[in-house]
Amino acid sequence: MPAKLDRIKDDALRDSLATAHVSLKSGNFPDVVHRSSDAYVEMLRRDPDLMKGPMGMRRILFYPRLGARLIQESDGSPAVIYDRETFSFSEAITYFEFAVDSLVREGV
């Protein structure tokens, strides 16, 4: 498991991303993208202030757009829309690293 994963405080999110890392190694790239996206969305749901104001818009705009898109529902909650179900290694690692870095940065 990458050392950075150990810095994620929440057990469930850390375990899910550890499973995503195993999926990455085994070539199950859709699972990596889904688990990484789910972890990122869960972080945003737990702290709704992360979606407010200019920084909230930045979180949406800077979310990787490689087959999955972060949107804000009409009630303000975050969600991911999947444009496809197949992903390459480079796409999967992008979503994985984005999620891990974001959770570590936010102290989740």
Instruction: Enumerate residue ranges in the chain where pLDDT < 50.
Output: none
Q: Tokens at residue 95, please?
A: 């979503």
Residue 70: exposure state from Cβ atoms within 10 A (0-12, 13-18, ≥19): buried
The model carries a pTM of 0.93
Domain extent listing, the chain: 10-106
pLDDT of 32 reads 99
> Do residues 13 and 39 touch, judged by C-beta distance below 8 A?
yes
Residue 71: what pLDDT?
Answer: 93
What pLDDT, on the 0 to 100 scale, is given for residue 1? 54
List of residues 6+ apart from 60 with CB closer than 8 A: 51, 70, 71, 72
- Note the pLDDT of residue 34: 98
